[in-house]
Every structure is written in structure tokens, then in C-alpha cells.
Amino acid sequence: MMNVKEQTIDWAILKYDKWQLYVAKSEKGICYVGSPGQSYEELKSWIQKRFPMASLVENEEALNPYLKELLEYFEGTRQTFSLPADVKGTPFQQEIWAALNQIPYGKTCSYSGIAKIIQRPSAVRAVGTAIGANPVLITVPCHRVIGKNGAITGYRGGTEMKQYLLELEAQKSGNE
């Protein structure tokens, strides 16, 4: 019988302005950035699905480097993230999330634009589903994907947060 090592997922709460976001990391890197208003039970459920052998441990000290980068982003002093990520998903989701990371700070792309980037122009709906499954809001910039007509469309963090992030990036990059 194989001895399966139990993994620890550290978590903490990031507080910025009116938002509180659960942030979690594995031993490999950030694995989750939650939505405003989310409960601990939702965090726990999400982690159990992706890390079934893991135990959740509140550990702000372990998360401090990640929280610092996220706060710097919210304050407009950081445009890219340097710390490692542990983002679990299907190969298709991984491909979509890699495409999201190609959208420059302060710029946007449509869902059909992402489908074209991955050379699957008819997969717009599947692209939207994969974007919606992004486990690390902000660090994998799914907020930069908007409707073809420029509309602010669905976002796991809520459209208010999406609008805020897009305006922040536009202002700090000079793309207003």
C-alpha cells in the first residue's frame, strides 16, 4: 500500500478597502484567491475538491509574501506577480489560463479573442467556462476578459470588483 503524504494548504484573509478575500497556498505556490463575501466553508469546499488529501491551516505568516504582492497590486504599485502558483485544472483550462497571462496589464481581450489566441475560434463558450473556473483571481487576470462589445461580463469576484480592477489598471497604465 502506498503511503500518501497529507498536504497542508495554508490560508489567510486579505483585507483591502471593502473587500475580504480568502487566499490559500500549497507547498508549490498560491492555489486560490477567493471572491468578496465568500465564506470559509466555500474555501474549504473548493480546496477539498482540488486537494482531497490536504488539511487547511490558517497561517498568515506563510501567506505574507502573497498578501503583500496582492496589496501592492490593489494599491497600483505592482503590475505583475512574481511568486509561484499551483493552479490545478484540465489541460484545456491550463491553456486558457496561460492565454490570460498574456493579456498585458491595463489591456483587455474578448472571450472570442482568447479562443483565437488558442487557435480554437469556435470554442468561445468553453473558453468562458474555463475562465470562470480560474482559481486564482487577479494573479491569473481573468478580469481582463470582457464581452466582444466591450461590456463588463461575469466575474467570480463580481462585476463591481471587475470594474474596479479594470479601472485601476487603465489608470495606472495610462490607458484611460
End-to-end CA distance of the chain: 59
Cα dist from 165 to 60, 70, 75, 91, 168, whole Å = 24, 12, 11, 27, 5
Active site residue 142: yes
Task: Using alpha carbons, select from 14, 122, 114, 136 the residue that is nearest to residue 68.
Answer: 14
Average pLDDT of the segment spanning 150-170: 92
Residue 176 confidence (pLDDT) above 70: no
pLDDT bin (cut points 50, 70, 90) of residue 175 is low
Instruction: Provide the CATH number for the domain around residue 128.
Output: 1.10.10.10
pLDDT tens digits, 15-24: 998 899 999 9
Average pLDDT of the segment spanning 33-59: 93
Residue 1 lies in a domain: no
Record the pTM.
Answer: 0.91
Residue 1 confidence (pLDDT) above 60: no
Are both 69 and 96 inside the same structural domain? no
Residue ranges of the alpha helices (H) in 17-86? 40-50, 60-74
What's the pLDDT score for residue 96? 96
Are both 103 and 156 inside the same structural domain? yes
Domain count, the chain: 2
Are both 97 and 29 inside the same structural domain? no
Are both 167 and 129 inside the same structural domain? yes
Are both 102 and 37 inside the same structural domain? no
Give the domain extent around 161.
91-173
Residue 81 lies in a domain: no
pLDDT bin (cut points 50, 70, 90) of residue 174 is confident
Average pLDDT, the chain: 92
Helix (H, G, I), strand (E, B) or coil at 101: coil
Average pLDDT of the segment spanning 74-98: 94
Among the listed residues 47, 67, 70, 142, the single catalytic one is 142
What's the pLDDT score for residue 4? 53
Specify the DSSP class assigned to residue 28: S
Are both 110 and 151 inside the same structural domain? yes
What's the pLDDT score for residue 5? 64
Instruction: Provide the CATH number for the domain around residue 63.
Output: 3.30.160.70
Are both 57 and 112 inside the same structural domain? no
Residue 50 confidence (pLDDT) above 80: yes
